[in-house]
Amino acid sequence: MSEVRTTCPYCGVGCGLVAQRGPEGLALRGDAAHPANAGRLCGKGQALGDTLGLQERLLYPTLHGERVGWEAALDAVAAGLRDTAARHGPDAVGFYVSGQLLTEDYYVANKLMKGFIGSANIDTNSRLCMAAAVAGQTRAFGEDVVPVSYRDVEQAELVLIVGSNLAWCHPVVHQRLLQARAERGGGPEVWVIDPRRTATVEEADGHLALRPDSDAVLFNGLLVYLHAHGHLDARYIAAHTRDFEHALAAAREEAPDVAAVAAATGLGTDQVIDFYRRFARTRRTVTLYSQGINQSARGADRVNAIINCHLATGRLGRAGAGPFSITGQPNAMGGREVGGLATQLAGHRDFSPAARAEVQRLWRAPRVAERPGLKAVDLFEAVADGRVRALWIMGTNPLVSMPDTARVRRALRACPLVVVSEVSRRSEALRYAHVALPALAWGEKDGTVTNSERCISRQRAFLPAPGEARPDWWALARVGQRLGYHDAFPYTRPAQIFREHARLSGAPGRLFDIRPFARLSDADYEQLAPTRWPLSTGGAPFAQGQFPTADGRARFVPVATDAPARLPLHSTEVVLNTGRTRDHWHTLTRTALCARLSAHQLEPRMSVHPDDAARGRLAEGDLARLCGPAGSVVARVAVADAVPPGTVFLPMHWSAPWGNVGAVNAAVAAVVDPVSGQPALKHARVRLERVAARWHGFALATEPLVFPDGVYWAASRLRAGYRYELAGTAAEGAWEAFAQALVAPHTDQRWLSYRDAQGERWVCLERGRVRLVLCVDARWDVLPARAWLAQQLGAPVAPEAALRLLGAAAGDARWQGALVCACAGVHAGAIAQALQAGACDLAALAARTGAGGACGTCRGELVRLLRSHARAEEGAAALDAAAVAPV
């Protein structure tokens, strides 16, 4: 029985896990000793064991699509980079890396690019999620430092959650917050500031559903209010900050009074005043924010509008207070530490002559990039127009995650050399790769990551390297050696790289200082316990009011906003807001392997407000298209008043391998924040159009299916195969031919069909087992329940029983509804039954169904179901009362 301590590969919470190998196989559990989670895991973390299969893995290097050995592949990469730099200059080379990389991978990529190729054209997909926070923190504090820890969230009296669906995106921090509130009997108070009514709102104490992109006005107005009502910390401002008057003047321009704030945000004046008073009287306030703030055309300014309010009241550097940018990816923070963004040098340095000289000396590099490189959107633009002619993509799929994906596709198609280091052979980027390099995945790779609260943890291997997969740092170092830099890239194990990385930290005046780790032995590195920096202050920055600026003072940043989403919309236009679903992660390369995680949302659902649905003649289950300036995406409509009028929400995860609907970012123009270069992925103006589907349907199959052109399909995993949600705009007519074309003929194959007023169903039995089920109808809402049919897939069925199965599907199959609790496998149908039977709170629901009793991520949905049931009951009672009232 052996145990390996590691960290979760998903979100920036950075939960610790223990992998235990025993006679029963591999078991994973939360690490009770890890400070981030103390044993908790969310549904995604709990299901990690289901995602470790090798069926989707890229296992061998290829060159122009042909399998080759590593030597040939790396020779080709090195020759391509050398020739490109020699002919067109070092800036013709680009690296596009990922917050999924380990710090050691990131470090070697950054060193190779900035020190030895000699360009800073290395950027990371972290640019897409937190570059605005980096820019905002650097402007205010002098360094990219998150001043808050998870403990502060628990110790606060008021937690403002701004532009973050914390319950789904950082579930364990959300659970820690709710537990602290429960244990302390009423505190901390939790307020959500978000245009959407998310799952986080369901368990909050208050919700400010402000207009999209109006957060900066709200916080500018807060600064004005705090000043006008004497709630500033004048001593703190005088002793520890600069430029307050400039920030106040800018805030007054835009938000002179509460009425102006109410007009701009769409909130009531009483709501605004109540919020301002609440902030003013609560000294221990944490303002936690993420993509809703960052992914905006003025993301950095919005970050600074928040930070300004904390600086003006001294609400940071003390327990339970501070602005908290919570990161999306597991190692976005580690990437920032090594200088993985095009705008940084290693160890939180900038491109000043002194910093460049220091890095060059420590690296013994022939040169160091002279200026910041191209940020992500600019990098792909440079690829498209031929300025960048060799691009190495590592651990990310820009064809899904970047805005204006058509342009990214054109860029990759035109690029003379595309190298892709990948784990999944399904990544679309591989279609454009001249060289494909198989990377190690989570469980196989070994190194460190830094989570949202600056805690460095080990990610350790507990599985053998499959096929010919190798660590990314290894491939990078071998290329560095081939370029002639043997001494600079001598690495044989990650501990060497980590020590070197630690040696580069502690630049003059920087808080990021982990130099004691430069003395770790290999054995120490192996045993390294989770450690929060700065090491010198026990992990609490700014406690003395000292900031890493030239004069030790923080800076107020004047903030003015005129974000495009606030402009008037045409009648068919809406603002597209993109984000995550509860149980999926990024581009589905891992979570889509797990049937349990795939059951929560089976296809991308476009949330449309009832007013917009009525205007666009859209009903629940219809298909709709969102058209941006350069592309479009199709998805199934979910009519929901959780989104405000004039906006739609669509998850970011789906793309070609899991459907033909297109990536949502196809419809998002490449508009970026001018300060940080972060794309405005949450505020795209798009046209909303109804897609006139002639039929709807679904297929369940034991093997993957291929559909004819023109059929909408979105796939998800089942335990025994695949499920496809379908629709078509053309009348198919011959369903028999349609169905039979989906599976290869077999000698022992039998087809059964059933037709009634509601539609057609076809079952294919192969060797006595259910191979395929196809159900189609003119209407989406009358299709049979899927879950019961899915259970028959792959099971032996006598032909007569199959006929009954076909006939019974619509009427007898018990409606299960969507999966609500992934941990206990509880569907909406079971919840509805429990509510009908009298369950009236979370505890009663948990007792009757088991839902919500484990990781807690579904509790927001349970609260929503409880509330809507209570409303329905009240409505029925009111109707009854009206019926018996005397006329």
Helix ranges (H only) for 266-320 are 269-281, 291-294, 299-312
Q: What does the alpha-carbon distance between residue 9 and residue 169 come to, in Å, rounded to a whole number?
A: 13
Site size for ligand SF4, by CB under 6 A? 14
Q: What does the alpha-carbon distance between residue 684 and residue 669 come to, in Å, rounded to a whole number?
A: 7
In this structure, what is the dihedral angle of CA atoms 415, 652, 342, 552, given to the nearest 10 degrees?
170
Give the residue nearest to ligand SF4 (CB). 45
Output the smallest distance, CB 303 to ligand SF4, in A.
Answer: 22
Output the smallest distance, CB 13 to ligand SF4, in A.
Answer: 4
In this complex, which beta carbon is closest to ligand SF4, that of residue 174 or of residue 196? 174
Tokens 């509510």 — which residue?
835
Tokens 């405005």 — which residue?
680
**Identity at 351, one-letter amino acid code:** F
Q: What does the alpha-carbon distance between residue 824 and residue 827 come to, in Å, rounded to a whole number?
A: 9
Near ligand SF4 by CB under 6 A: residue from 14, 163, 339, 558 = 14
Output the smallest distance, CB 452 to ligand SF4, in A.
Answer: 10
Output the smallest distance, CB 9 to ligand SF4, in A.
Answer: 7
Q: What does the alpha-carbon distance between residue 28 and residue 19 come to, in Å, rounded to a whole number?
A: 5
Nearest to 31 by CA among 43, 45, 44, 21: 45
Binding segment toward ligand SF4, per CB under 6 A, in 3-11, 65-73, 159-167, 748-756: 3-11
In this complex, which beta carbon is closest to ligand SF4, that of residue 42 or of residue 594? 42
In sequence order, the 6+-apart residues with CB closer than 8 A to the CB of 614 are: none
In this complex, which beta carbon is closest to ligand SF4, that of residue 175 or of residue 285? 175
Q: What does the alpha-carbon distance between residue 76 and residue 437 come to, in Å, rounded to a whole number?
A: 11
Nearest to 829 by CA among 837, 838, 839, 819: 819
User: Is the backbone of residue 59 left (phi > 0), alpha (psi -120 to 50) or beta?
Assistant: alpha
Near ligand SF4 by CB under 6 A: residue from 171, 317, 328, 853 = 171
Output the smallest distance, CB 25 to ligand SF4, in A.
Answer: 21
In this complex, which beta carbon is closest to ligand SF4, that of residue 6 or of residue 119? 6
Contact between 644 and ligand SF4 per CB under 6 A: no
In this complex, which beta carbon is closest to ligand SF4, that of residue 585 or of residue 735? 585
Contact between 10 and ligand SF4 per CB under 6 A: yes
Beta strand extents in 601-694 (DSSP E only): 605-608, 623-627, 632-639, 647-651, 684-691
> Is there a contact between 868 and 849 (Cβ–Cβ < 8 Å)?
no
In this complex, which beta carbon is closest to ligand SF4, that of residue 606 or of residue 823? 823
In this complex, which beta carbon is closest to ligand SF4, that of residue 152 or of residue 622? 152
How far apart, in Å, do the first and last CA atoms of the chain sit? 77
Q: What does the alpha-carbon distance between residue 639 and residue 606 come to, in Å, rounded to a whole number?
A: 8
Residue window 129-168: x/- pattern of binding to ligand SF4, with contact defined by CB under 6 A: ----------------------------------------
Contact between 584 and ligand SF4 per CB under 6 A: no
Contact between 192 and ligand SF4 per CB under 6 A: no
Binding segment toward ligand SF4, per CB under 6 A, in 7-15, 251-259, 308-316, 733-741: 7-15
Contact between 199 and ligand SF4 per CB under 6 A: no
In this complex, which beta carbon is closest to ligand SF4, that of residue 104 or of residue 453? 453
DSSP for 503-533?
Answer: HH---TT-S---GGGGG--HHHHHHPPPEES
Binding segment toward ligand SF4, per CB under 6 A, in 169-177, 349-357, 370-378, 673-681: 169-177
Contact between 846 and ligand SF4 per CB under 6 A: no
In this complex, which beta carbon is closest to ligand SF4, that of residue 44 or of residue 315? 44
Q: What does the alpha-carbon distance between residue 835 and residue 369 come to, in Å, rounded to a whole number?
A: 63
Near ligand SF4 by CB under 6 A: residue from 6, 11, 28, 783 = 11
Q: What does the alpha-carbon distance between residue 433 and residue 419 come to, in Å, rounded to a whole number?
A: 5
In this complex, which beta carbon is closest to ligand SF4, that of residue 226 or of residue 423? 423
Binding segment toward ligand SF4, per CB under 6 A, in 8-16, 82-90, 154-162, 564-572: 8-16
Contact between 342 and ligand SF4 per CB under 6 A: no
Beta strand extents in 115-249 (DSSP E only): 122-124, 158-162, 189-193, 206-208, 241-242
Angle between helices 244-254 and 215-228 (to 10 degrees): 120
State whether residue 623 is helix, strand or coil. strand
Binding to ligand SF4, residues 432-471 (CB under 6 A): none
Output the smallest distance, CB 216 to ligand SF4, in A.
Answer: 28
In this complex, which beta carbon is closest to ligand SF4, that of residue 84 or of residue 325? 325
Contact between 172 and ligand SF4 per CB under 6 A: yes
In this complex, which beta carbon is closest to ligand SF4, that of residue 498 or of residue 585? 585
Output the smallest distance, CB 43 to ligand SF4, in A.
Answer: 7
Near ligand SF4 by CB under 6 A: residue from 8, 332, 402, 742 = 8
In this complex, which beta carbon is closest to ligand SF4, that of residue 37 or of residue 716? 37
Contact between 338 and ligand SF4 per CB under 6 A: no
DSSP 838: T
Nearest to 775 by CA among 799, 809, 800: 809
Output the smallest distance, CB 172 to ligand SF4, in A.
Answer: 4
Q: How many helices (H) and strands (E) does the chain have?
A: 31, 34
User: Residue 478 has which token pair?
Assistant: 């071998």
**Identity at 358, one-letter amino acid code:** E
Q: What does the alpha-carbon distance between residue 564 and residue 163 come to, in Å, rounded to a whole number?
A: 17
Binding to ligand SF4, residues 796-815 (CB under 6 A): none
Rg of the chain over CA atoms, in angstroms?
27
Output the smallest distance, CB 100 to ligand SF4, in A.
Answer: 13
Binding to ligand SF4, residues 36-65 (CB under 6 A): 37, 41-42, 44-45
Nearest to 65 by CA among 431, 429, 399: 431
Report the run of H or E that residue 221 belongs to, with start and end.
helix 215-228
Output the smallest distance, CB 679 to ligand SF4, in A.
Answer: 23
State whether residue 162 is helix, strand or coil. strand
> Is there a contact between 78 and 106 (Cβ–Cβ < 8 Å)?
no
Binding segment toward ligand SF4, per CB under 6 A, in 6-14, 734-742, 766-774, 873-881: 6-14
Contact between 588 and ligand SF4 per CB under 6 A: no
Residue window 272-311: x/- pattern of binding to ligand SF4, with contact defined by CB under 6 A: ----------------------------------------
Binding to ligand SF4, residues 762-781 (CB under 6 A): none
In this complex, which beta carbon is closest to ligand SF4, that of residue 116 or of residue 585? 585
> Is there a contact between 867 and 199 (Cβ–Cβ < 8 Å)?
no
Output the smallest distance, CB 42 to ligand SF4, in A.
Answer: 3
Helix ranges (H only) for 142-189 are 150-155, 166-169, 171-183
Q: What does the alpha-carbon distance between residue 204 and residue 196 come to, in Å, rounded to a whole number?
A: 13
In this structure, what is the dihedral angle of CA atoms 613, 689, 197, 134, given to the nearest 10 degrees?
-170
In this complex, which beta carbon is closest to ligand SF4, that of residue 44 or of residue 139? 44
In this complex, which beta carbon is closest to ligand SF4, that of residue 45 or of residue 621? 45
Summarize as ranges the residues that interact with ligand SF4 (CB under 6 A): 8, 10-11, 13-15, 37, 41-42, 44-45, 170-172
